[in-house]
């Protein structure tokens, strides 16, 4: 589903952001991507959306390769990736349901299908009763749920979440993560960049990959294999 092979990313002024990163995420996995500020988590997320290309190595996402993709194919790839950000990025002048509907309008979903689909998505994230509320009328946790509904609107194959609980208090963070667990249990592949080590420690059942200064320094999946062969 996601495959980074010996990926390097250099930025002209700040130098090497990723150094020889190899990482495979299989279909249906939920993986925490951790590491200090500046470790390269957001860079990985941007490369997966092919918003940027690697300086070396290859990024593959659901059949698309950074080595082969053409500019005009990028919208096709993006449709297969749902993205959730720390700061929600909702349209303030649109209600919860209009925010979700917008994601369907821009991909050309037929109008009669949009209403029922929005309703289903808002129900899935537990917010059907707030469909007519504007973002300013919602709590942080509720806003993030709308953002998750929007990310799922076009039935992506992968969900990328960059610090999705970073702006939430502990309870709201737990609630949003529970939603991720439910979505993952239904088969969605999720890569979640997070600083929240308490959340990571509370869920040892999920794989953890740690970046430090642009390199993978720990992968619980690899650690499990090594422990098994020792």
Ligand X SMILES: Nc1ncnc2c1ncn2[C@@H]1O[C@H](COP(=O)(O)OP(=O)(O)OP(=O)(O)O)[C@@H](O)[C@H]1O
Residue among 4 and 138 whose Cβ is closer to ligand X: 4
Q: How far is the CB of 109 from ligand X (least distance, A)?
A: 32
Q: Which region among 40-48, 69-77, 115-123, 142-150 touches ligand X (by CB under 6 A)?
A: 40-48
Q: Which region among 22-30, 41-49, 115-123, 217-225 touches ligand X (by CB under 6 A)?
A: 41-49
19 touching ligand X, by CB under 6 A: no
Q: What does the DSSP assignment read for 116-134?
A: HHHHHHHHHTT-GGGTT--
Task: Choose which of 8, 24, 42, 62 interacts with ligand X (CB under 6 A).
Answer: 42
**Crossing angle (nearest 10°) for helices 140-152 and 96-105:** 20
State how far the alpha carbon of 75 is from the alpha carbons of 21, 25, 60, 69, 107, in Å: 25, 22, 15, 11, 9
17 touching ligand X, by CB under 6 A: yes
Site string for ligand X, 44-73 (x = CB under 6 A): ------------------------------
229 touching ligand X, by CB under 6 A: no
Which helix (H) or strand (E) element contains residue 102?
helix 96-105
Phi, psi of 228 (to 5 degrees): -65, -35
38 touching ligand X, by CB under 6 A: yes
State how far the alpha carbon of 95 is from the alpha carbons of 104, 122, 139, 179, in Å: 15, 12, 14, 21
Q: Which region among 13-21, 98-106, 124-132, 173-181 touches ligand X (by CB under 6 A)?
A: 13-21
Q: Tell me how many residues contact ligand X (CB under 6 A).
A: 12
State how far the alpha carbon of 83 is from the alpha carbons of 48, 91, 204, 205, 229, in Å: 11, 15, 24, 23, 37
Query: Contact positions toward ligand X, by CB under 6 A?
Result: 11, 13-14, 17, 35, 37-43
């Amino acid at each position: 589903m996601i495959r980074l092979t010996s990926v390097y990313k250099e930025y002209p002024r700040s130098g090497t952001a990723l150094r020889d990163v190899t990482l495979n995420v299989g279909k249906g996995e939920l993986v925490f991507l951790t590491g200090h500020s500046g470790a390269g988590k957001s860079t990985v997320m941007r490369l997966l959306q092919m918003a940027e290309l690697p300086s070396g190595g290859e990024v593959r996402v659901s059949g698309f390769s950074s080595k082969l993709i053409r500019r005009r194919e990028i919208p096709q790839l993006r449709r297969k990736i749902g993205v959730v950000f720390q700061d929600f990025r909702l349209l303030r002048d649109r209600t919860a349901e209009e925010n979700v509907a917008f994601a369907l309008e821009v991909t050309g979903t037929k109008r009669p299908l949009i209403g029922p689909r929005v309703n289903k998505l808002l129900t899935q994230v537990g917010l059907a009763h707030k469909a007519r509320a504007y973002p300013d009328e919602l709590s942080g946790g509720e806003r993030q749920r709308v953002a998750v509904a929007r990310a799922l609107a076009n039935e992506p194959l992968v969900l990328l979440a960059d610090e999705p609980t970073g702006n939430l208090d502990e309870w709201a963070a737990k609630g949003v993560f529970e939603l991720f667990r439910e979505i993952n249990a239904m088969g969605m592949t999720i890569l979640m960049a997070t600083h929240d080590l308490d959340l990571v420690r509370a869920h040892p059942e999920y794989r953890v990959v740690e970046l430090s200064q642009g390199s993978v320094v720990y992968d619980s999946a690899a650690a499990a294999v090594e422990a098994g062969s020792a």
